[in-house]
C-alpha cells in the first residue's frame, strides 16, 4: 500500500468538496464522506451532499445511505469506512476523506476506543436523572464514578458527562478506562496526508450565508416537508436548518426569520469546527484559499 490516504478537512462552506474533486482527478481518487450529517437519506440539499454533476465527475461514497430515523455514530462510520479504505488502496486508487466532523477523522487517524453498547434501560435511567438535576450536580456525580473524565470535562459539557454516567451505569467501569484498554488503531499515521482548508473567517461566513439561500432555492423546504410527512414521530438528525425550516412550515416563524437563524447557526458551527480542527488535528498542509 504505497499510496497515501488523503484527508481534507475544514469548516462548513470552506471549499473542501471542490478541492477534493480536484485532488481526486489528479490522483485517481475515490471520495469518502466524513461528515456526520451527509450520511443521511432524504436531506441531500440541506446537508450539502455532492450534486449530480459532482457525482458524474469522480466517485463519491458513504453519502445519503443511512435512513433518516437510524441512530448513527463514529463507531458505525468507522465500520464502513475502514474496510473501504483498505479496498481502495488495494486496487491502486487514492482514498480521499472529506468532511468537517472532527471526531470521525481523529478517530480514524489516531484510533478509536470500542465501548459496549448502552441499553435502552440505561439510557432511560440516565435521562430521568438528567431531568431532575442541574449540570453542576451531574458533573459532581461523575466525580465518584470516573474521576479522570470528571477532571477532563467542564460543568457545561453535558453531553459527555451523560455519556460517562451511561457507560459507568451500564458496565460498572469508567469510560476513561474503556478508552485506554479498548483502543484500536486502523492505519499508521505515516499513511495519511492531512490538509486543512482555512480561508479567511469572513469568507467562510459569507459562504455560509449564501449557501443557505441556495439550499432554499434548490429545494431544501421540499426535503423537510417530505420527512415531516413520512417520518412525523422520529428524532431528526441535528442538521443545521432542519429545525428552522420545520418552525417555518409550522407557522411558528417567517421564512426570513428561519433563514437568519439558520445562517447564524451555520456561522457559529463553522467557527467551532475551525477552532476544533486547528487544535485537535495535526495537519500536514494548510490551504488558505481554494
| Under 8 Å between Cβ of 195 and 9 | yes
C-alpha span between 161 and 135 (Å, rounded): 9
- Cβ contacts of 65 within 8 Å, gap of 6 or more: 39, 41
Whether 183 shows a pLDDT value over 80: the answer reads: no
- Cβ contacts of 223 within 8 Å, gap of 6 or more: 42, 43, 44, 45, 46
C-alpha span between 56 and 225 (Å, rounded): 28
C-alpha span between 191 and 6 (Å, rounded): 9
Annotated binding site for substrate: which residue ranges?
12-17
Annotated binding site: which residue ranges?
10-17
Q: What pLDDT digit, counting tens, does each position of 231-262 carry?
A: 998 989 999 999 999 999 999 999 999 999 99
Annotated binding site for ATP: which residue ranges?
10-17
Q: What is the pTM of this model?
A: 0.82
Q: What pLDDT digit, counting tens, does each position of 16-26 carry?
A: 999 999 999 99
Burial (CB < 10 A; 0-12, 13-18, 19+), residue 138, is buried
2 falls in which pLDDT band (50, 70, 90)?
A: low
- Grid coordinates representing 180 are 485506554
- Domains along the chain with CATH numbers: 5-114+183-199+276-287 (3.40.50.300), 120-181 (1.10.20.140), 201-271 (1.10.287.890)
CA-wise closest residue to 34 among 60, 55, 56 = 60
Using the CB atoms, write b or e for 93-121: b if 16+ within 10 Å. Answer: bbbbbbbbbbebbbbbbeebbebeeeeee
128 falls in which pLDDT band (50, 70, 90)?
A: very high
Q: What is the pLDDT of residue 279?
A: 87
| Arithmetic mean of pLDDT over the chain | 94
- Grid coordinates representing 60 are 463519491
CA 115 to chain centre: 19
Task: Give the torsion through C-alpha atoms of 161, 165, 170, 173, to 10 deg.
Answer: 90
1 falls in which pLDDT band (50, 70, 90)?
A: very low
251-259's contacts with Cβ under 8 Å and 24+ in sequence apart are 255/216, 259/212, 259/213, 259/216
**269 in helix, strand or coil?**
helix
C-alpha span between 12 and 220 (Å, rounded): 17
Amino acid at each position: 500500500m504505497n499510496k497515501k490516504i488523503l484527508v481534507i478537512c475544514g469548516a462548513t462552506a470552506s471549499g473542501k468538496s471542490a478541492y477534493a474533486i480536484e485532488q481526486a482527478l489528479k490522483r485517481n481518487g475515490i471520495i469518502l464522506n466524513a461528515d456526520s450529517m451527509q450520511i443521511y437519506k432524504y436531506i441531500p440539499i440541506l446537508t450539502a451532499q455532492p450534486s449530480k454533476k459532482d457525482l458524474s465527475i469522480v466517485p463519491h461514497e458513504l453519502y445519503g445511505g443511512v435512513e433518516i430515523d437510524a441512530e448513527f455514530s463514529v463507531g458505525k462510520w468507522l465500520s464502513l469506512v475502514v474496510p473501504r479504505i483498505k479496498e481502495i488502496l488495494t486496487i491502486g486508487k487514492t482514498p480521499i476523506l472529506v468532511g468537517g466532523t472532527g471526531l470521525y477523522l481523529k478517530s480514524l487517524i489516531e484510533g478509536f476506543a470500542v465501548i459496549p453498547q448502552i441499553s435502552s434501560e440505561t439510557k432511560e435511567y440516565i435521562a430521568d436523572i438528567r431531568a431532575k438535576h442541574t449540570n453542576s450536580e451531574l458533573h459532581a456525580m461523575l466525580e465518584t464514578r470516573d474521576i479522570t473524565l470528571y477532571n477532563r470535562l467542564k460543568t457545561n459539557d453535558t453531553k459527555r458527562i451523560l455519556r460517562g454516567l451511561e457507560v459507568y451505569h451500564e458496565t460498572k467501569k469508567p469510560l476513561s478506562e474503556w478508552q485506554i484498554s479498548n483502543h484500536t488503531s486502523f492505519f499508521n499515521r505515516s499513511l495519511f496526508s492531512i490538509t486543512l482548508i482555512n480561508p479567511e473567517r469572513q469568507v467562510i461566513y459569507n459562504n455560509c450565508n449564501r449557501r443557505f439561500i441556495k439550499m432554499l432555492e434548490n429545494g431544501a423546504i421540499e426535503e423537510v416537508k417530505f420527512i415531516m410527512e413520512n417520518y412525523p414521530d422520529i428524532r431528526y438528525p441535528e442538521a443545521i436548518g432542519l429545525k428552522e425550516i420545520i418552525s417555518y412550515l409550522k407557522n411558528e416563524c417567517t421564512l426570513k426569520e428561519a433563514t437568519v437563524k439558520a445562517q447564524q447557526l451555520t456561522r457559529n458551527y463553522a467557527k467551532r469546527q475551525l477552532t476544533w480542527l486547528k487544535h485537535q488535528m495535526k495537519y500536514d498542509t494548510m490551504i488558505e484559499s481554494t
